Structure 1
Amino acid sequence: MNNHEIDYKIYGDDMQFVEVELDPDETVVAEAGSLMMMEDGIHMETIFGDGSAAAGGGLMGKLFSAGKRVLTGESLFMTTFTNTSHEKKHVSFASPYPGKIIPMDLSEYNGKIICQKDSFLAAAKGVSVGIELQRKIGAGFFGGEGFIMQKLEGDGMSFVHAGGTIHKKELSHGEVLRVDTGCLVAMTSEISYDIEMVKGVKTALFGGEGLFFATLRGPGTVWIQSLPFSRLASRVFAAAPSRLGAKDEGSLAKGIFDVFSGD
């Protein structure tokens, strides 16, 4: 695969963004809506799919590539950023919620990484963003990510985003790691992935950790996130005041409520 070789720098701690340095005629591909800023001389274009060589084959090939993205819950379109000037230029992409940006050189992981379906942020042009179907029924129904996960293929740089603190762990041959299904960010293709039910009725019903967890078996590398976005969203939703309780809130909202209620 002929991936563009890009340089990068990650800024920030918990609200990170990645700055990509492009040489003349180099291109980076990103999810629609992830752009933070770019310098003059960079041409932005919306494309079907990921623009990789794997998406070739004319119009039908491009439509098939874009259609696969719909299955992962992503947009039909992606955006390319190409340096059309004669000097180095920079373009930056921001993470969508608090967490970390993980740079991955796919050439160091046998050219393939499997990740959760909403984690991809950007990559060098030539990296293929496809789907990975879970072959095991248990992993498909109860894995938190369903039957479909994303796969990144190629030999270039990719950037994946995840929530909270990221822990990278190397698993030796036969070593087993059990994690919450939502905390799994990415894994190398050698990892054996399955879903295991929590043992014990009391633990399953009252443990607060759900009925299932992911079982990862080495050898390979896995990336774990401490704060899945689904967990963050559920806590925010649970803490949000109800409409009936808006008048009791000691905030600006209470003042607005009083004006319209005539108090």
Structure 2
Amino acid sequence: MKHTIAGTTMPVLQIGLDPGEVIIAEPGEFSWMSDNMQLNTTTQTGGARGFFGAIGRALSGGGLFMTEYSPQGGPGLIAFAAKVPGTIQQVDVPAGHSYMIHKHGFLCATQGVNLSIGFQRQLGAGIFGGNGFVMQKLAGPCTAFVELGGEAVVYDLRPGESIQVHPGHIGMFQDSVNFDIVFMRGIKNALFGADGLFIARLTGPGKVWLQSMTVPNLAHALSPYLGGEQAVATAPQIGGAAIAGGILGDIFGQR
């Protein structure tokens, strides 16, 4: 397998495959491909063992089905374009290791990839629109490609070193990094500081990839141009009362 990543703001991943080589992605994710590329859409790939394994992958943000792409009769080409402005990161995952990636970060991978739920927690409708915070576990052995929004900033944390991050800006981190969700310090900061009630704390050792742009923030930036009542609100623009109301709504089951 040979690949190139072309472009800057909206990069494109182009992968050259020889017969017998396979790339796995969610259905409909490819942008273009050579005429000899054969598709096989199935639930039994991407690490899924049985139907419930596929369900678990779907709950983590992946698809219930996955598509295998393989050239027939000679070398082939397949390309995947970024869905939002950002970067495409190559991740080599050895056996016995894994990465946590954001819910919509998986682009494609070679055979051996295993996608599952890595972390899931409800953080209130006022912060994530009722969807909670979900991360995928990307395990191998495989070579995978992950899409991050905006610019990617990488920190190599020393043992015991921590960094606090708004959850939406977490793109990916190694399995050696400890991850936890903590309350924002100070009740006034949490309710009226416009940064939300919760914050993520990542503790080393290990590498952390942060993304400068989140899809909700992009939607908010575009909302003034999409028409009045269709505007999308994101956490930084929601007042303390709305956040508290979202949390209470989750607690008492009122959506």
Normalising by structure 1, we get a TM-score of 0.78
Counterpart position of 1:28: 23
Give the aligned CA root-mean-square deviation in angstroms.
2.3
Q: Which amino acid is the alignment partner of residue 64 of structure 1?
A: F
Work out whether residues 34 and 95 of structure 1, in 8 Å CA contact, stay in contact via their aligned partners in 2: no
Unaligned runs of 5+ residues in structure 1 are: 1-5, 135-139, 244-263
**Matches of 2:109 and 2:13, distance apart in 1:** 11
Q: Identify if the C-alpha distance between structure 1 residues 159 and 94 changes in structure 2 by more than 3 Å, giving closer, same or farther.
A: same
Q: Which amino acid is the alignment partner of residue 20 of structure 2?
A: D
**Matches of 2:23 and 2:3, distance apart in 1:** 11
2:181 to 186, 195, 198: 195
**Matches of 2:206 and 2:132, distance apart in 1:** 22
Counterpart position of 1:85: 73
Which shifted more, 172-181 or 40-49?
40-49
**Matches of 1:215 and 1:151, distance apart in 2:** 18
- Kindly provide the CA deviation profile for residues 76-134 of structure 1, in whole angstroms up to 9, marking residues without a partner as x: 11111102223x32110111111111111112x95311111211110012211111245
Counterpart position of 2:53: 65
Q: Identify if the C-alpha distance between structure 1 residues 98 and 147 changes in structure 2 by more than 3 Å, giving closer, same or farther.
A: closer
Work out whether residues 162 and 185 of structure 1, in 8 Å CA contact, stay in contact via their aligned partners in 2: yes
**Matches of 2:122 and 2:161, distance apart in 1:** 24
Counterpart position of 1:184: 170
> Per the alignment, in what secondary structure is the counterpart of residue 28 of structure 2?
coil
Aligned residues: 225
> Per the alignment, in what secondary structure is the counterpart of residue 56 of structure 2?
helix
2:13 to 12, 15, 18: 18
Q: Which amino acid is the alignment partner of residue 159 of structure 1?
A: F
Q: Which amino acid is the alignment partner of residue 105 of structure 1?
A: D
1:55 aligned to 2:48?
yes
Work out whether residues 61 and 134 of structure 2, in 8 Å CA contact, stay in contact via their aligned partners in 1: no
Q: Which runs of 4+ in 1 moved over 6 A?
A: none
Work out whether residues 28 and 122 of structure 1, in 8 Å CA contact, stay in contact via their aligned partners in 2: yes
Unaligned runs of 5+ residues in structure 2 are: 230-255
Deviation at 1:238, TM superposition (A): 4.7
Counterpart position of 2:238: none
Q: Identify if the C-alpha distance between structure 1 residues 156 and 7 changes in structure 2 by more than 3 Å, giving closer, same or farther.
A: farther
Q: Which amino acid is the alignment partner of residue 86 of structure 2?
A: G
Q: Identify if the C-alpha distance between structure 1 residues 200 and 147 changes in structure 2 by more than 3 Å, giving closer, same or farther.
A: closer
Deviation at 1:231, TM superposition (A): 1.4
Deviation at 1:239, TM superposition (A): 4.9
Work out whether residues 27 and 67 of structure 2, in 8 Å CA contact, stay in contact via their aligned partners in 1: yes
Deviation at 1:70, TM superposition (A): 2.5
Residue identity over aligned pairs, in percent, reads 34
- Kindly provide the CA deviation profile for residues 158-182 of structure 1, in whole angstroms up to 9, marking residues without a partner as x: 0111211011111010000111110
**Matches of 2:136 and 2:183, distance apart in 1:** 24
Deviation at 1:69, TM superposition (A): 2.3
Normalising by structure 2, we get a TM-score of 0.80
> Per the alignment, in what secondary structure is the counterpart of residue 9 of structure 1?
strand
**Matches of 2:59 and 2:48, distance apart in 1:** 16
